[in-house]
Chains A and B, each alone.
Chain A
């Protein structure tokens, strides 16, 4: 694999993470991180939507009329979001999660990461790198989601994936952790950690 492709994949995971560096997709990361299972399904959904819409739009990039560029992107992303929602609703294992995530699956379309990467990358690059870029950005988003959800479920419910971890040792679940503001505090801590490691992100 050449260096540029590697950069395409690795950059969004850490150095150019869509949530902690680009500060996109904050809203849904506060909403769907109460349980690990929900965060995982949301992360996978965003990876699928981001990757495949980037791929489709990169394939179409030379044919799209400039004036309706955004509308064409919107149609493709909306299609992917509806497909993901329909598939989640169809399986017994994911139906309850889909109900729990309720509007947030549909709101993937408003996640700036998806349209942002299509506009910034997929429309100017070949299909394969665009697909990888979409998947990697979805994964970068998903990684933060899972880290936040890990702490919120562990401290807020004393469980992980619904399995009791802390409660058996007499832990009293902290209700503050369940509330969205705590997700913001956690995100702040993650940004703090990342900026201490990656000095070039620090503002003078």
Chain B
């Protein structure tokens, strides 16, 4: 057979691509539940880090089951709110907001073609009094997200943890890898009345990461956008 004819080449590449795609789709589907369980435990450990239940390194020593147990033990209440600050529904069965649901809500906050409905934002209140809320946005290469905790006064930040999909190792990736960057959030105040809720810039309230301008700017925008969406909830709580 002439393996160099046009027809053969076309049929051959089509078959290869279809077979590979089918195989990958099958594997992805069959491993999905395991991956989701891992992701959930990871999200929980990130929220526990933000709520100051230990360093991320210490929490990572726990197994998935232990992480879930610790979360069940320490969570006071978890629910979602609308932009007006009113409760929409309670989060049950240890439902948490990892990067995928956060992405959806991010579209809903920002509006535009990808908007699927009104924003439904999660709030997690822990037994140590800290309230954890997520943030989500765009870094340099891909999405970045994280969790910020607030003290009982609802303006002082108690801690933060950030994660990313593909920021540059050693530069942008430091939003996740550098505990001293995250430690800067502890004790700082968020000014919900301002457009710039948290000032993350060179020499600002939170010092940005040198060499990672785009990631820092993206994180600043993500924090401002998301905390602004929570402004009504936090001001209501104060009264």
Contact = CB atoms under 8 A, between A and B. Distances in A.
A174 interface: no
A82 B41 CA distance: 22
Interface stretch (A66-74, A127-135, A144-152, A191-199): A66-74
Interface size class of B (residues with CB under 8 A): 20 to 34
Size category of the A interface is 20 to 34
A141 to B, nearest CB: 19
Given A63-B3, A65-B9, A96-B60, A90 B20 contact: no
A63 B23 contact: no
Q: State the majority secondary structure of interface residues on B.
A: helix
A197 B119 CA distance: 66
Contacts, number: 65
Contact of A79 (B3, B9, B20, B41): B20
Interface stretch (B81-89, B94-102, B165-173, B184-192): B165-173
Interface in B1-52: 3-4, 8-9, 12-13, 16-17, 20, 23-24, 27-28, 31, 34-35, 38, 41-42
Interface of A is mostly: helix
A86 B3 contact: no
B64 A92 contact: yes
Given A67-B4, A103-B166, A83 B42 contact: no
B35 A67 contact: no
A79 B24 contact: yes
Interface of A: 31, 62-68, 71-72, 75-76, 78-79, 82-83, 86-87, 89-92, 95-96, 99, 102-103, 179-180
